[in-house]
Structure 1
Amino acid sequence: MTSTIDRPARDTAASLIRRFRDGEISNDQFENQWPKGSTDPALSALKDMIWQFYDARYEHTLTWRHTLKPDGHEAFTRFACFADSDLPYEWPPRDFKAATGLGGFIITVGLLAALIGWANFGWMAAIPVVVLLFWLDWRIHARHDQAQKAFEAAGDVTAWPFNRADDYEAARRTAPSDSRKP
């Protein structure tokens, strides 16, 4: 799979990732300054992955109670190192933040509806809703598991967004100084 590399957008992204990681900018500033309209698939994948590391409900920096753990700090460094590189993004498309969000919401609302139906009409009214919800939950998890297996088969997941650990090590040697730290 070949992809377009948007060098100016990647440079902006690498800087934003480092500044966000180091607590220099907030999550809102990170999102607002993120390069938009690029055809480089690495940029949307990086943003979706980084979204998992912060609370989007309110503005904050990655300091104090939101400080990254060492593995999160290393991941941000790896993400910035990839943005600095000229390597193409070789992973299959994947929405890192939507694996269960809407499905979980629908199941929660459905369970509330089943509870209300049971309270008002007895347990027989709740059975179809509960069966439907179990089926929906099974489908959501089956689809997520299938996507996860395909994703894991595409490369070395521990080196993501690099496809191979060797590519990451080579990029670390030529990237800005913070990428050379373990």
Structure 2
Amino acid sequence: MHLRQLSTGQISNDDFEERIMTDVTYGWPPEQYYLAEESKTDDLVIRPILEFSWCLYNDTYNHKLTGSHRLSDEQTKEIARFILFLHSNLEYDWTYIDLINPVIRFSFTDILKSIITLGKHYRDLNLKREEEFELMKKTGDFELWPFKTTTDYQEQLKCHPFLNG
């Protein structure tokens, strides 16, 4: 519900984060949910959808996704598919790949390694992440993510969860 409200401009980014922290992430902001112990045992689709959601808005100031912040038609369709998946009874079946730029999650050790290797450590982490992502995409119908197969997606479309009374 919160993702739908954010994407349609009903609530601001700050409202979204506050509601997510209250209802979903055990008090963690979306971009830090990976640090929560519960993120390791929670529904596996929550973390990647939160990470995608965090990229929809600028979290340095309060705004709604309207006007110049309005989502593109492609983003709106993706979010509709995410919401459709969240309302399904399907299990999330993709391997998790952290798509957040590694520098955001760098430890002090990573910073030192990158300096000592003149950036090679960072480039290696980036390359590894890209390779893992490309392999993961080949394990299903990635254009329909978070659905794994076209059949699952088409079956869920038949359910019309938002049009049943």
TM-score class, shorter-chain normalisation, is 0.7 to 0.9
Question: C-alpha distance in 2, partners of 1:109/1:27?
Answer: 34
Runs (5+) with no aligned partner, structure 2: 27-40
User: Could you tell me whether the CA contact under 8 Å between 1:27 and 1:60 is conserved in 2?
Assistant: yes
Show the counterpart of 1:25. Answer: 11
Show the counterpart of 2:54. Answer: 51
Question: C-alpha distance in 2, partners of 1:107/1:66?
Answer: 34
Show the counterpart of 2:81. Answer: 78
**Does 1:144 find its partner at 2:133?**
no
Question: C-alpha distance in 2, partners of 1:137/1:39?
Answer: 30
Show the counterpart of 1:119. Answer: none
- Corresponding residue to 1:63 among 60, 63, 66: 66
Aligned pair count reads 144
Question: C-alpha distance in 2, partners of 1:96/1:141?
Answer: 9
Question: C-alpha distance in 1, partners of 2:112/2:9?
Answer: 37
Judging changes above 3 Å, is the alpha-carbon distance between structure 1 residues 77 and 99 closer, same or farther for their aligned structure 2 residues? farther
Structure 1 residues 73-103: Cα deviation after superposition (integer angstroms, max 9, x where no partner): 0011001101110100101122232445356
- Secondary structure of the residue aligned to 1:97 is coil
**Does 1:165 find its partner at 2:154?**
no
Higher helix residue share: 1
Q: Which moved more, 1:35-44 or 1:18-27?
A: 35-44
Normalised by the size of structure 1, how large is the TM-score? 0.68
Runs (5+) with no aligned partner, structure 1: 1-14, 112-129
- Report the identity percentage: 24
Runs of 4+ in 1 over 4 A off after TM superposition: 106-111
Task: Return the index of the structure with the highest Cα Rg.
Answer: 1
Judging changes above 3 Å, is the alpha-carbon distance between structure 1 residues 175 and 46 closer, same or farther for their aligned structure 2 residues? farther
User: Could you tell me whether the CA contact under 8 Å between 1:16 and 1:30 is conserved in 2?
Assistant: yes
**Does 1:133 find its partner at 2:118?**
yes
Question: C-alpha distance in 2, partners of 1:136/1:49?
Answer: 25
Higher RCO (CA < 8 A, seq sep 6+): 1
Question: C-alpha distance in 1, partners of 2:65/2:91?
Answer: 28
